[in-house]
Amino acid sequence: MTYFENIRSQVPALSAKVKGKDLVYLDNAATAQRPESVIRLFDRCCLEANANIHRAVHTLSAEATRLYEEGRRAVAEFINAPCRECVVFTSGTTASVNLVANSMARGGMLGKGDVVLLSEAEHHSNLVPWQMAAQFTGARIEYVPVDDSGRLRMDVLDALLAKGGVKLLALAHISNVLGIVNPIAEVTAKAHKVGALVLIDGAQGIVHEKVDVQEIDCDFYVFSGHKVYTVPGTGILYGKPEILEALPPFMGGGDMVETVSYGGFSATALPLKFEAGTPNFAAVATYVPALEFARSLEGNQVKTYMKGMTDYLFDELGKLGGCRIYGSNGEDKAPLISFVTEGAHHADIAQLLDAQGVAVRSGLMCAEPLITERFGQSGMLRVSLAPYNNPEECQKFIKALEKALAMLR
């Protein structure tokens, strides 16, 4: 078995059949398939350690708590967080951004006339929460444009930061549509110079890039577990400890309090201050095997392999004719390619690919303004690769696409 066959063999869902055909799963940017180790531990948590955490004294609860906190330790190590307490569990990237947006608004860190700086290429989850916070506080949103190749316009970023008033910059590490790796450390340094906080949406970045939050120096880094091989409902909010300390809690409830009286409450310390209610404890524990799997996929061998498949797809899509790719190829391109097919609707293509066993994403991809306002399209198609995909699957996809185009054009 080769190195990559071994990786693939660890992921049971990949041997599924779809409509009688072998599954070719190329929608990894939406959610990743999980290794067996994750599925097994999830099972074990449900079977042998199902008890609510941080509360009871009994053995099962202690074991569940241990597994949960092991998950936190694994995440903290994976992103090189300075401490375990600055890793907060949420339900997903969306919940993490909403938490920061609400807490900043409530804590008076965003107010009338303040500016929240976003890029044009943000996912709705890093856009709508800020629009809501702006409505609530009277803050204003400004957008840093991307050029036609999908790269952030650094000159405009500089100009917008220089104009003043920016309290927060929220930026995707990698856009879920364009697949371009933003220079987040450089951008963070620029934003810090004008006193703005920086939130990085790492939903895609955590999958394809080595993330060291101390090196990036961002104030918040958020992502979802299900894209890095664990199960849904396992979001992460990393924040610098001193900043998380200063933020008021967003949700109130059990586990986030020190004391409660009829007159009021006092919030407990980090990280539980932000973890009101029963978290998804069985799922969180699976971060340990999921991130072990992710670790095994780091390094140059995998990078070269992914680059090879990405280059192949660029070449073949170019040869097909009438396929326009958004987010051009380069050293900063993640294995995530969005395109439109002239003369054939994206929904029809996606349907005909599905009929051939090929799963891709189509539509607005939760980035409606980018697709409709910036690029003037009604939707796009996206293929996104994981290291368990292989060149044969890329070939199958191209063949299936050719067939679909022949039927539609």
Partner 1 sequence: MTIEETEKKIVDEFSAFEDWMDKYEYLIELGSELEIIAPELKTPERLIKGCQSRVWLGAENRNGAIHLSADSDAIITKGIISLLIRVFQDRTPEEILSAKLDFIDQIGLRQNLSPTRANGLVSMIEQIRAYALSWAK
- As a whole number of angstroms, the distance between CA 153 and CA 145 comes to 6
CA-nearest of 249, 248, 244, 202 to 227 is: 202
Residue pair 120/370 in contact (Cβ under 8 Å)? The answer is yes
Residue whose CB is less far from partner 1, 189 or 347? 347
- The single residue of 45, 218, 323, 366 carrying the catalytic annotation is 366
Minimum CB–partner distance for residue 343 and partner 1 (Å): 11
Residue 351 near partner 1 by CB under 8 A: yes
- Of 92-100, 253-261, 301-309, 339-347: span binding partner 1 (CB under 8 A): 339-347
Residue whose CB is less far from partner 1, 104 or 350? 350
Structure tokens that stand for 236 in this block:
């992460």
Among 99, 350, 358, 386, binds partner 1 (CB under 8 A): 350
- Of 148-156, 219-227, 315-323, 357-365: span binding partner 1 (CB under 8 A): 357-365
Among 378, 391, 399, 402, binds partner 1 (CB under 8 A): 378
Residue whose CB is less far from partner 1, 164 or 343? 343
Residue whose CB is less far from partner 1, 88 or 360? 360
- As a whole number of angstroms, the distance between CA 142 and CA 120 comes to 9
Which amino acid is residue 348, in one-letter code?
D
- As a whole number of angstroms, the distance between CA 385 and CA 364 comes to 19
Minimum CB–partner distance for residue 378 and partner 1 (Å): 7
Residue 290 near partner 1 by CB under 8 A: no
Edge-to-edge strand list for the sheet holding 115-119: 87-90, 235-239, 220-224, 197-201, 166-172, 115-119, 140-144
Among 33, 96, 103, 362, binds partner 1 (CB under 8 A): 362
Torsion of CA 395, 399, 404, 409, to 10 degrees: 120
Q: Assess whether 218 carries a catalytic annotation.
A: no
Residue 127 near partner 1 by CB under 8 A: no
Strand ranges for 83-206 from DSSP E: 87-90, 115-119, 140-144, 166-172, 197-201
Among 62, 257, 267, 364, binds partner 1 (CB under 8 A): 364
> Cis before residue 271, ω within 30 degrees of 0?
yes
Minimum CB–partner distance for residue 22 and partner 1 (Å): 14
Residue 165 near partner 1 by CB under 8 A: no
Residue whose CB is less far from partner 1, 118 or 352? 352
Residue 356 near partner 1 by CB under 8 A: yes
Q: How many CB atoms lie within 10 A of CB 298?
A: 12
Residue whose CB is less far from partner 1, 106 or 403? 403
Residues with Cβ within 8 Å of residue 122, at least 6 apart in sequence:
170, 171, 172, 175, 201, 367, 370
Among 2, 17, 20, 304, binds partner 1 (CB under 8 A): 20
Residue 406 near partner 1 by CB under 8 A: no
Residues with Cβ within 8 Å of residue 40, at least 6 apart in sequence:
289
Residue whose CB is less far from partner 1, 18 or 51? 18
DSSP of 280-312: -HHHHTTHHHHHHHHHHT-SHHHHHHHHHHHHH
Structure tokens that stand for 9 in this block:
């063999």
Question: Known catalytic residues?
Answer: 366
Residues within the interface to partner 1 (CB under 8 A): 19-20, 345-348, 350-352, 355-356, 362-364, 378-379, 403, 407-408
